[in-house]
Chain A
Amino acid sequence: MKEVDQRMPVIVKIPAPLRPLTQGQSEVSVENAGTVQAAVEDLSRRYPGLRERLLDDKGALRRYVNIFRNDEDIRHGKSLQTALSEGDKLTIVPAIAGG
């Protein structure tokens, strides 16, 4: 991986239903992540329980969760292999059904 990739800070917006897993934080920062996959893996190490909410047993994004890179729906591109650049924002959007 290129040196520049090792310094990428990416902001991840955590939705309200997942904040109990991030100690209430609505945004967390991820470094050294060249792809969405790497960012998710980093978050999973830091916040136990988050991986199970985002990824299935095969490591794919769960069908009822979505992630946006800036305004881009990653499902419509390379999904978890979507490349990240410095200053990108990831927004996690889970399906919710309360009423």
Chain B
Amino acid sequence: MSTAVLLGIGGLGCPAALALAEQLPGVRLVLVDHDRVDRSNLSRQILFTEGDVGRPKAEIAARRLSQLVPAATVEPRVQRFDPGCARELLQGCGVLLDGTDSFETRFAANDAACALRVPLVHGAVLGWGGQLLTVLPDHGSCLRCLFEGPPPPGAVPACSEAGVASPLCGVVGAAMASEAIRVLRGEPPRALGRLHQWDGLRGTERDVAVPRDPRCPACSLAPQPALGHP
């Protein structure tokens, strides 16, 4: 059985998980999130209801998916993703979907995916802006080819300050699921080596090519890439 690991069961993880469960009920879904449902989440985190406020997102999402898609195999993991748990969590993983709200976690996910040779679908939103980038072992480029590293805390507005447009979460989350399905089926991902960007307010999309950085500490062909770059 193929496995898809989803990091962050929020505005992106909820629609991505639902689409994957509906489309590929034979794929084992591992839902990773340390957080609990907040009332402010409900407008875009479509697997939760008012009665779920205060409860662990991963557990509630797994239960709701099992109700919606009884054939689905869903495993909740109430924990943060970090380099220390990456190897165990990504054992046998066919695709990793990152929809977290932390820069540190996103770069840790990228580095772990590169080091452990796990395909990664990176999706992110802020305000009305969205991004999608897919990383395959030995193909294309990775998040660190595009950005050297995460910003220091507070340097970039978080989604709690800048907001996240609910409609765009559905669009980007569904695109992440589509991309993961392409990866699992061995078909070419649309965002391989290209950063796909959405402007949800103006209804426009565009791509920029992300060339591989031959000096990239995460995905370069240098032997023995390590987990946990600064």
Chain A residues with a Cβ under 8 A of chain B: 15-17, 26, 62-66, 68, 71, 73, 75-76, 91, 93-99
Chain A residues near B162 (CB-CB < 8 A): 17, 98
Report Cα–Cα, A24/B164, bound state, in Å: 17
Mark the stretch among B4-12, B66-74, B179-187 that contacts chain A: B4-12
The answer to the question of B78 belonging to the interface, with a C-beta cut-off of 8 Å to chain A, is no
User: Are B11's CB and A93's CB within 8 A?
Assistant: no
Chain B residues with a Cβ under 8 A of chain A: 8, 10-13, 98-103, 106, 123-129, 131, 146-151, 155-159, 162, 164, 169, 195, 197, 199-202, 206, 208-211, 213
Can you spell out 26 A-B residue pairs with CB atoms less than 8 angstroms apart? A15-B129, A16-B127, A16-B199, A17-B126, A17-B156, A17-B157, A64-B149, A65-B147, A66-B147, A71-B209, A73-B211, A76-B211, A95-B106, A96-B129, A97-B100, A97-B101, A97-B102, A97-B124, A97-B158, A98-B125, A99-B11, A99-B98, A99-B99, A99-B100, A99-B123, A99-B124
User: Are A64's CB and B210's CB within 8 A?
Assistant: no
User: Are A64's CB and B159's CB within 8 A?
Assistant: no
Least Cβ distance of B174 to chain A in Å?
A: 14
A-B contact count (CB 8 A): 101
User: Are B127's CB and A17's CB within 8 A?
Assistant: yes
Out of B8, B126, B151, B211, name the residue touching A64 (CB < 8 Å). B151
Known contacts A64-B147, A68-B208, A96-B126: A76-B213 contact under CB 8 Å = yes
Chain B residues near A76 (CB-CB < 8 A): 211, 213
Least Cβ distance of B45 to chain A in Å?
A: 10
Find the B residue at minimum CB distance from A62.
B151
Find the A residue at minimum CB distance from B160.
A98
Chain B residues near A26 (CB-CB < 8 A): 199, 202
User: Are A63's CB and B129's CB within 8 A?
Assistant: no
User: Are B129's CB and A95's CB within 8 A?
Assistant: no
Out of A16, A64, A91, A96, name the residue touching B148 (CB < 8 Å). A64
Chain A residues near B149 (CB-CB < 8 A): 63-64
Known contacts A15-B129, A16-B199: A96-B124 contact under CB 8 Å = yes
Out of B101, B148, B199, B211, name the residue touching A98 (CB < 8 Å). B101
Least Cβ distance of A65 to chain B in Å?
A: 7
User: Are A95's CB and B159's CB within 8 A?
Assistant: no
Report Cα–Cα, A91/B208, bound state, in Å: 9
User: Are A99's CB and B101's CB within 8 A?
Assistant: yes
Chain A residues near B150 (CB-CB < 8 A): 64, 95, 97
User: Are A97's CB and B201's CB within 8 A?
Assistant: no
Least Cβ distance of A95 to chain B in Å?
A: 5
Report Cα–Cα, A55/B127, bound state, in Å: 22
Least Cβ distance of A93 to chain B in Å?
A: 6
Find the B residue at minimum CB distance from A96.
B126
